[in-house]
Amino acid sequence: MSAPSTVLFDEPGPRARRRMRIATVLGALATVALAVLAVRQFAANGQLDAARWQPYATWPMWRYLLNGLGSTALAAVVSAALAMAFGLVLGLGRLSPRRWARGPAVGYVEVVRTVPALLLVYVVLFALPRYGLDLPLFWKLVVPLSVSHAASFAEIFRAGILSVERGQSEAGLAVGLTPGRTMRLIVLPQAARRVLPSIVSQSVGLLKDTSLGFVVSYTELLYSAKVLANYNGLLIQTYIVVALVYLVVNMSLSKLARTLEARQRAVLRRRIARG
């Protein structure tokens, strides 16, 4: 299955296969050329010296960076929990038949979606202390992140709840459950399963946003890197190492989201096959 027929291409014939071989060689060459160029640029500026990379093979360096990663994880987990709780309330509010619940929820989601997280960070950093609310550093990062991601989580939950077939809640009401219990016992458990992949990928976004600790000077991974780079003067090395750490963590989470999604699709297919 080198090249399955897709919406764009048929099974390749001999001429197409020759062209594909040429493209393969060209693509590989371009990649290698780019890598060579990058390495030469590094070497020409003396950034490849062993002495400049050696520190990253030592344990104290990694202990320091892993500490930063730990703080990143803590901030991400706490803001995810807060944002999800608040997002669930907002999502339910937006679906509520009562106008006093729906209006504010809709307003919140629409407004927060269009305000940059950095602006919220500045508000917490510089505006709130003026009104006597000077939060500890950790919360200066967590609060704006929770506020901004709650809107995204609200939309995810809303979509999840709407994706549960109407018959489910109708059946719940028909057997005499109150609307609240129908939601809690019948609709939410099913919705929770369906939104799991979206929640994981939204959490990747949240984890990425914890890098705003750089601005807040909360010592998560990126700010730790800044401190480290200022101390040892190995700017590009430090930031590359830190970028790789982010990459490994986030790729694993994204992979998890894809796995969950695939599993769900398989379950759905089996259910359809059974009829």
Partner 1 sequence: MSVILDHLPELWQGLVVTLQLTAASFLGAAVLGVVVTALRVSPVRVLRAIGTAYVETFQNLPLLVLLVLAVFGLPEIGIQADLLVTAIVVIAVYEAAYIGEALRSGVNAVSKGQGEAARAIGLTFTQSLRHVILPQALRTVVQPLGNIFIALTMNTALAGAVGVIDLTAAANRVNLVEAQPIPIFVGAGLAYALLAACAGFVTGRLEKRLVVLR
Positions in the binding site for partner 1 (CB under 8 A): 2-3, 5-10, 12, 16, 20, 23-24, 27-28, 31, 41-42, 44-45, 47, 111, 113-119, 122-123, 126-127, 130, 204, 208-212, 214-215, 222, 225-226, 229, 235-236, 239-240, 242-243, 246-247, 250-251, 254
Nearer to partner 1, 40 or 263 (CB): 40
Nearer Cβ to partner 1, position 84 or 125? 125
- Which residue, 76 or 191, has its beta carbon nearer to partner 1? 76
User: Hey, what are 104's tokens?
Assistant: 């504010």
The sign of the torsion formed by the CA atoms of 135, 139, 145, 147 equals: negative
> Residue 88 CB, nearest distance to partner 1 (Å)?
22
Determine the 3-state secondary structure of 106 from DSSP: helix
| Shortest spacing between CB 254 and partner 1, in angstroms | 6
The 3-state DSSP class for residue 135 equals: coil
Q: What tokens does 205 get?
A: 């976004």
Q: How far is it, in rounded angstroms, from Cα 90 to Cα 135?
A: 24
**Between 101 and 229, CB nearer to partner 1:** 229
Q: Taking the complex as a whole, how short is the minimal distance between the CB of residue 38 and partner 1, in angstroms?
A: 8
- Shortest Cβ distance from residue 132 to partner 1 (Å)? 13
214 alpha carbon, distance to own chain's centre: 18
**From the CB of 176, what's the least distance to partner 1, in Å?**
40
Task: State the minimum distance, in angstroms, from the CB of residue 250 to partner 1.
Answer: 4
Residue among 45 and 58 whose Cβ is closer to partner 1 = 45
Q: Among residues 126, 118, 123, which one has the least CA distance to residue 213?
A: 118
User: 84 or 245, CB closer to partner 1?
Assistant: 245
Residues 117 and 145: beta-carbon distance below 8 Å: yes
Question: What's CA 44's distance to the chain center, in Å?
Answer: 36
Per the CB < 8 A criterion, the answer to whether 91 and 155 are in contact is: yes
Cα separation, 201 vs 211, in Å, equals: 17
